Structure formats: C-alpha cells, structure tokens
Amino acid sequence: MSRTIKIEKSILEKNDVVAVRLRKMFSGRKLAVINIMSSPGAGKTTLLVETLKRLAPRIYIGVIEGDIATDHDAKKVEQAGAAWVVQINTGGRCHLEASMVEKAFNGAPDGLDLLIIENVGNLVCPSGFDLGEGHRVMLGALTEGLDKPKKYPGMFRACGYLVINKTDLASVLNIDVSDYEKEALAVNPDLKIFKTSATSGDGMDEWLGWLESLVIKGE
C-alpha cells in the first residue's frame, strides 16, 4: 500500500512541475485557458460546438480534445469554427496530463485568445491533474440524475465553475434544475453556476459572456 501511494505522489509531482511551466507560458501569452470535465455523454462536445459557432467569428479559439480513441470530436469542433485543433488520444488513460497538453500545444499558432481543453469523459481521474489551466469547469447533465455531486465530490470541489446542461429536459425527467444546483452547492458552496441547454440555446448568453470576459482579462 505504501508503495502505491509513493507512485501516485511521484506521478502528480511530475505533472505539477509541467503544469507550472504551462501556466507561466499561458500567462505570458495572455491566453485564457479553461479545462472542461464531465462524465461521458454529458454534452461537453455539443456545448463546445455551439460555443464555437457563436464565438469563433470574433474570437481566435484553439481546442485540445482529449479522448481514449478516435478523432470524432476534433473533427466536429474544427467544423464548428475552431481556429486550431489538436486531438490527444490517451490510449486507455482516463485523463489528460500536463505533459500531453504541453506536447500538443507546441504547434499552437500565435495570437490565440482562448484555449479550451476538453478532458477525457470521467468524473474521477481528471480532477487530480493540473493542466496549467486558468479555470476548471465541471459540466453536469440533468440526465445523469441528482446524485452525482455527492457521489463524486472530488470533481465538484476541484472546479470553480459548474455548467448544468440539458436543462430543456427538466420537465421530461421530472427534475427541478434548482435541486441539482442545491446538491452541487452542498458539496462546493463556492461554485459559479451556469444553466444551459446547448441544443435549444437556453442559458448560452451568460456562458458566452463569461468566456468573453476571460479573453478581455487575458486570464
């Protein structure tokens, strides 16, 4: 058991060294960077596609896509208007690591305003790995039920922002969006919460406004 703990500590320490280096580089470029995390199927890519359709015409956005396999999502976000896209296939790892992001970012063009990292779909592993991002965003879908915040508290505590997605399905699911909000705030009372439906467009203006504010601030 003690050996396992040492191995995990070693991995995280090495990751943090690279993350510090990345954060300094992003800051030097005045590049706003967000790391979006969620379970598979919560709607990260759909939200990202709809975000790009609305923001890409006026903001220079780069995307790093994390998946175990395939480049399906990278193709989707490129078609949606991302100025620069890199696909990272982890080959089985359930999270992105700072070294992966550093390697992927080596080919990034100058002048990017916003970098969005779409992490591997998982509610456990990604929360433990700093990627040098300025902001961590957890995306939770109403279709997953109300129990996710308390079942996966580490993820909700690791993030400063929560997007409650698929709000258009609330009546079908017989779920009150405010109940999900209460469950999340019970785990992390400091969460800034957005409520969206990427497919219907509900709540997107507030989300997009926040992203634009990050670009203006360069954070």
pLDDT > 70? residue 206 = yes
Strand order in the sheet with 135-141: 84-89, 61-67, 114-118, 32-37, 135-141, 161-165, 192-195
pLDDT value at 5 more than 80 = no
pLDDT > 90? residue 208: yes
Q: Kindly report the CATH number assigned to the domain that includes residue 37.
A: 3.40.50.300
Residue 95's beta-bridge partner residues?
none
Q: pTM here? A: 0.94
- Round to whole Å and give the CA distance between 73 and 70: 8
Digit-coded pLDDT (tens) for 134-186: 999 999 999 999 999 999 999 999 999 999 999 999 999 999 999 999 999 99
CA pair distance 167, 203, nearest whole angstrom: 9
Contacts of 108 by beta carbon, 8 Å cutoff, 6+ apart:
62, 84, 86, 115
Q: Read off the pLDDT of residues 101-126 as tens digits, 9 standing for 90 and up.
A: 999 999 899 999 999 999 999 999 99
Whole-number percent of the chain with pLDDT over 70: 96
Cβ-proximal residues to 58 (8 Å cutoff; 6+ apart), any chain:
none
| Average pLDDT of the residues in 193-215 | 97
Counting the structural domains of the chain, the total is: 1
Q: Which residue range(s) make up the domain with 83?
A: 2-217
